[in-house]
Amino acid sequence: MARFPLYIFLLSLAFVSCRSTVPQSTRVPDEPTPDVRTVEKPSWLLQKPQSGLYYQGIGNASMSDPDYIQTARNEALDDLAAEISVTISSSSLLYQLDLGDTFREEYQNAIKADVDQQLEGHELVDSWQDGQMYWAYYRLSKSEHQQRLEQKKSTALNKGLDFYTRAMNNLESKNYTLAISWFTQTLAAIENYLGEDTRVTYKGNSILLANEAYAGLKNTLGNIRFQAPDKVTLRSRSSSQDNVSVEAKYDNSPVENLPVSLYGTALASKKSSKTTDPTGRFLISHGSLSAGNGSVMVEADVRRLNSTRSELIGSILQKLPVLKKEILVGTKTLTLFISSRESNLGKPLGTDLLNSMLVGALSQQGAVFTDSKQEADLVMKVTADTRKGSELSGLFTTFLDVTVQVVDQSSNKEIYADSIYDLKGIQLSYEKAGIKAYQDARERIEKELAPSIWKNLY
């Protein structure tokens, strides 16, 4: 009888021991069990925890998603990042520039997106699922996150300070374009912190790096001037004398390698780019200008010095004073004075036939003639004579040779020369054949010689 109670006791002990092996929680962070619908939701899922030490985020995903754990993790990190605020400091460059509420919001969103990519050090606190949905709970230490941000900011500020030092050195050496470029790169290096206090030590003094770099840009551009005529009158033929010279100067020093944009109604291509040479100059060629009255705007293109192609830096550069100059352009039609020496078999013809043909053909093209050689821009000299050919059965052949020269009176240089040989005339005598050659030359004069002259002079 004594053995029966002992048996009952041992059996009870075994039953209790077996119950103690049943899992009390299914909240396994990395590999959730298939079905825990009988387990109550954790407290963090019923109400999101609040903490002064951590940023916290909760995300979920349907377990029908093959990658539901990663999806829930991403949602949790987005939720966590939403707790990290981005503000613009009153001492920052962006605050001083006052680019507007829309731009400020876009900047904050851009920095927020950048912060989302830098959530290093986040950790999984817990996870839970009910067989259909999966939830994940992540957190990030505020102090550790701030420490990482400050370390990255320090690295960026050090890089920016190096660029700023180069800018100031080039400014002192009168390498103004390089100075502008380094000032721009300074802002690009600290782009993510332009809404913050960017205080650094430069040559023993505390400066706001972003503000000083922008001030350097503004002052440098403000001291550069384009020197060019306010108005130019172009002659209606291509000539190096008609090229417009433009010079960029900082006080009395040339500004080398400055990118420049040209645009305006007097520009044939409507828009063009130039770069100043070592003397600070560039030329606007006659060929790039269109006929008629108009203007050309010359503008420093600082955006070409922004190698980052950053929209933020581009918007900041647009706040700078625009360095530009307008050049009014007019066109003058050249006047022609024509003289001819026309002979038949070595004797003066008496009537200037070719002279009349050329004046008529060129006038139809738009040429303007004058009777005063002194007032003319161009002087055209026509020389023509005939020579005997052959005689056959009482018919005589004579050949006409014509030479045309045009001289620019402003430079006293020949700017056009052409000749036509062997214009044939046939008649009952050499003299009459010579006259016939002159008369038959009209077609060649009007269709070949006059268009060639017009094309080269106008």
Q: How far is CA 98 from CA 89, 198, 199, 222, in A?
A: 12, 17, 19, 20
Amino acid at 344: N
> Largest alpha-carbon pair distance within the chain?
171
Q: Which architecture characterizes domain 145-222 according to CATH?
A: Up-down Bundle (1.20)
What pLDDT sits at residue 314?
Answer: 81
Q: Is residue 3 scored above 50 in pLDDT?
A: no
What pLDDT sits at residue 233?
Answer: 79
Residue intervals of the chain classified under CATH 2.60.40.10 are 224-304+321-332
Question: Per residue in 154-179, pLDDT tens?
Answer: 999 999 999 999 999 999 999 999 99
Question: Per residue in 260-314, pLDDT tens?
Answer: 999 998 888 888 999 999 999 999 987 788 767 789 999 999 888 877 777 778 8
Q: Is residue 142 scored above 60 in pLDDT?
A: yes
What pLDDT sits at residue 16?
Answer: 35
Q: Is residue 34 scored above 50 in pLDDT?
A: no
What pLDDT sits at residue 350?
Answer: 85
Question: Per residue in 381-439, pLDDT tens?
Answer: 999 999 999 999 999 999 999 999 999 888 888 989 999 999 999 999 999 999 999 99
Among 112, 138, 113, residue whose Cα is nearest residue 60? 138
What pLDDT sits at residue 357?
Answer: 93
Question: Minimum mean pLDDT among 36-50, 136-150, 312-326: which range?
Answer: 36-50
Question: Minimum mean pLDDT among 239-248, 250-259, 372-381: which range?
Answer: 239-248
Q: What are phi and psi of 399, to 5 degrees?
A: -115, 135
Question: Per residue in 325-349, pLDDT tens?
Answer: 999 988 777 899 999 999 999 999 8
One-letter-per-residue 3-state SS of the chain: CCHHHHHHHHHHHHHHHHHCCCCCCCCCCCCCCCCCCCCCCCHHHHCCCCCCCEEEEEEEEECCCCCHHHHHHHHHHHHHHCCCCCCCCCCCHHHHHCCCHHHHHHHHHHHHHHHHCCCCCCEEEEEEECCCEEEEEEEEEHHHHHHHHHHHHHHHHHHHHHHHHHHHHHHHCCCHHHHHHHHHHHHHHCHHHCCCCCEEEECCEEEEHHHHHHHHHHHHHHCEEEECCCEEEEECCCCHHHCEEEEEEECCEECCCCEEEEECCCECCCEEEEECCCCCEEEECHHHECCCCEEEEEEECHHHHCCCCCHHHHHHHCCCCCCEEEEEEEEECCEEEEEEEEEECCEECCCCHHHHHHHHHHHHHCCEECCCCCCCCEEEEEEEEEEEEEEECCEEEEEEEEEEEEEECCCCEEEEEEEEEEEEEEECCHHHHHHHHHHHCHHHHHHHHHHHHHHHHC
Among 258, 256, 148, 149, residue whose Cα is nearest residue 196? 149
Among 328, 276, 327, 266, residue whose Cα is nearest residue 301? 276
User: Which whole number is the average pLDDT over 34-47?
Assistant: 73
On average, the pLDDT of the chain sits at: 84
- Which residues on adjacent β-strands are paired with residue 253? 250
Question: Per residue in 190-239, pLDDT tens?
Answer: 988 888 899 999 999 999 999 999 999 999 999 999 999 998 877 665 45
What pLDDT sits at residue 89?
Answer: 74
Vertex 189 angle, CA 187 and 193, to 5°: 75
Query: Tell me, which fold does domain 335-457 have in CATH?
Result: Double Stranded RNA Binding Domain (3.30.160)
What pLDDT sits at residue 332?
Answer: 76
Residue intervals of the chain classified under CATH 1.20.58 are 145-222
Comparing 9 with 126, the larger pLDDT belongs to 126
Q: Is residue 35 scored above 90 in pLDDT?
A: no
What pLDDT sits at residue 302?
Answer: 85
What pLDDT sits at residue 115?
Answer: 60
- Which residues on adjacent β-strands are paired with residue 403? 383, 419
What pLDDT sits at residue 192?
Answer: 85
Q: Is residue 100 scored above 90 in pLDDT?
A: no
368: left (phi over 0), alpha (psi -120 to 50) or beta: beta
What pLDDT sits at residue 383?
Answer: 95
Within 10 Å of residue 84's Cβ, how many Cβ atoms? 18
Comparing 109 with 325, the larger pLDDT belongs to 325
Dihedral of the CA atoms 142, 147, 153, 158 (nearest 10)?
Answer: 170
Comparing 282 with 86, the larger pLDDT belongs to 282
**What whole-number percentage of the chain has pLDDT above 90?**
56
How would residue 28 be classed by pLDDT, with cut points 50, 70 and 90?
A: very low
Within 10 Å of residue 212's Cβ, how many Cβ atoms? 20
Amino acid at 31: E
User: Domain 224-304+321-332: what homologous superfamily?
Assistant: Immunoglobulins (2.60.40.10)
How would residue 366 be classed by pLDDT, with cut points 50, 70 and 90?
A: confident
Q: Is residue 17 scored above 50 in pLDDT?
A: no
Spatial CB neighbours of 147, under 8 Å, sequence gap ≥ 6: none
User: Which whole number is the average pLDDT over 38-57?
Assistant: 88
What pLDDT sits at residue 116?
Answer: 54
Amino acid at 208: L
Residue intervals of the chain classified under CATH 3.30.160.180 are 335-457
pTM: 0.64
Q: Tokens 């550790």 — which residue?
A: 144
453 and 354 Cβ atoms separated by less than 8 Å: no
What pLDDT sits at residue 7?
Answer: 38
